[in-house]
Amino acid sequence: MITDVPGVLVGQYERIGGGWATGTTVVLTPAGATGAVDQRGGAPGTRETNLLEPENLVRRVNAICLSGGSAYGLAAADGVMRWLGERDYGFQIGAQPHEVVPIVPAAVIFDLPRSEWGNRPDASFGYAACEAATGESVAQGCVGAGAGATVGSLKGGVGTASEEVAEYTVGGLAVVNASGEAVSAETGLPFAADHEVAGEFGVRWPGRPGDVAAAATKLNTTIGVVAVDADLSKAECRRLAVAAQDGLARAVRPAHTMFDGDTVFALATGERELPAGEAQRVVALDALCSAAARVFARSIVHGVLSAESVAGVPAYRDVWPEAFPA
């Protein structure tokens, strides 16, 4: 899980039922982490992403806000800022401890058809997600920003994964809501199944044709975060986000379409230095980038496997129940 990276917390809040199927997921690094972003596809919904360009002033961010609600859902970041500001976390602009501006980049998915019109995340969702934040186990599936997510013709959701690379930990969290598919309808095999750790979900991959119906509405955009406990520059951190997009492309087909606003943030908490020599540093960074692609692909698979049917959208476990142990 992404919380395997020391210093990374995750909080989630969602509403499902009564005309609601949407929510917000917040990845918190209250004391700050080097941030970067890579955005692809033709329909992004983002906030404070220009700030993360390597040439711009602010290096450290306090949280990443991922939300449903399309552009309306960007308001959830206001609640995240309020929660952080109440605790004096942010970019210091004055002499007093409370004189800070929390740095909270955000991205949203398009899930509006899953809820009644007008039911979408606002600042209260972001604040509630922060209140629920923990460095322990992260709920997956139809939670937080994944409550109303779909991936092609199946229910999407939140997924997370991590792996160790030498002395470093690389973690990922994805909100899977793509216009493309993540699973072969002919075999029931996730496209990134080869990235899955044996036995992690206890699934037995099916081998029969599926009966997945075509999605009536193209819902779009996979968003997420990769994190590492290494000390990276903003430019190096962006390479991590770029690599994670490769993981998305392995897991979703097609990816980065005109209907998607695929956005991946990267966070580097700085707990461990990279090797001092230039050549050794590049080799270490390359290993971290390769891991970022793998953990983001696995996070997408986990989001699909963990999802349950919401608002009439079938989940993987509904179409291929034989994949799961009785």
**Mean pLDDT along residues 132-137:** 96
Tokens representing residue 287 in the block: 């290993």
Q: What is the pTM of this model?
A: 0.94
pLDDT in tens, 156-214: 999 999 999 999 999 999 999 988 889 988 888 898 887 766 556 667 767 544 454 44
Domains in the chain, ordered, with CATH?
Answer: 2-323 (3.60.70.12)
Task: List the alpha helices (DSSP H) in the chain.
Answer: 76-86, 123-131, 234-251, 278-306, 316-319
The more confidently predicted of residues 188 and 247 is 247
**pLDDT attached to residue 198:** 54
| Whether 92 contacts 99, CB under 8 Å | yes
If you ran DSSP here, which 8-state letter would residue 322 be given? Answer: G
pLDDT exceeds 60 at position 54? yes
Single out the residue of 263, 181, 162 nearest to residue 221, CA to CA. 263
75: phi then psi, degrees, rounded to nearest 5: -65, -20
188: left (phi over 0), alpha (psi -120 to 50) or beta: left
pLDDT digits (tens, 9 = 90+) for 206-244: 754 445 444 444 657 899 999 999 999 999 999 999 999
Q: What is the pLDDT of residues 58-74, one digit of tens each?
A: 999 999 999 999 999 99
Distance, in Å, from the CA atom of 237 to the CA atom of 34, rounded to the nearest integer, reads 7
- 299-323 mean pLDDT: 93
Instruction: For the chain, count helices (H), then strands (E).
Output: 5, 13
pLDDT at 321 over 80: yes
CB 234 within 8 A of CB 34: yes
- Amino acid occupying residue 229: D
Question: Which residues fall within 8 angstroms of residue 259, CB to CB, at 6 or more apart?
Answer: 41, 42, 43, 179, 218, 220
In this predicted structure, what is the pLDDT of residue 207? 59
Collapsing DSSP to helix, strand or coil, 105 comes out as coil
pLDDT band at 126 (very low <50, low <70, confident <90, very high): very high
Asked whether 5 and 269 are in contact (CB, 8 A), the reply is yes
Q: What is the pLDDT of residue 306?
A: 95
CB-CB neighbours of 254 under 10 Å? 13
pLDDT digits (tens, 9 = 90+) for 257-295: 999 999 999 999 999 999 999 999 999 999 999 999 999
Buried b (16+ CB within 10 A) or exposed e, 262-289: bbbbbbbbbebebeeeeeeeeebbeebb
Reported as a single tens digit per residue, the pLDDT across 76-114 is 999 999 999 999 999 999 999 999 999 999 999 999 999
DSSP label of 21: E
pLDDT of residue 209: 45
Instruction: Write the secondary structure of 131-146 as one string of H (helix), E (strand) and C (coil).
Output: HCCECCCCCCECCHHH
- Average pLDDT rounded to a whole number, residues 113-132: 97
Local structure of 130: helix, strand or coil: helix
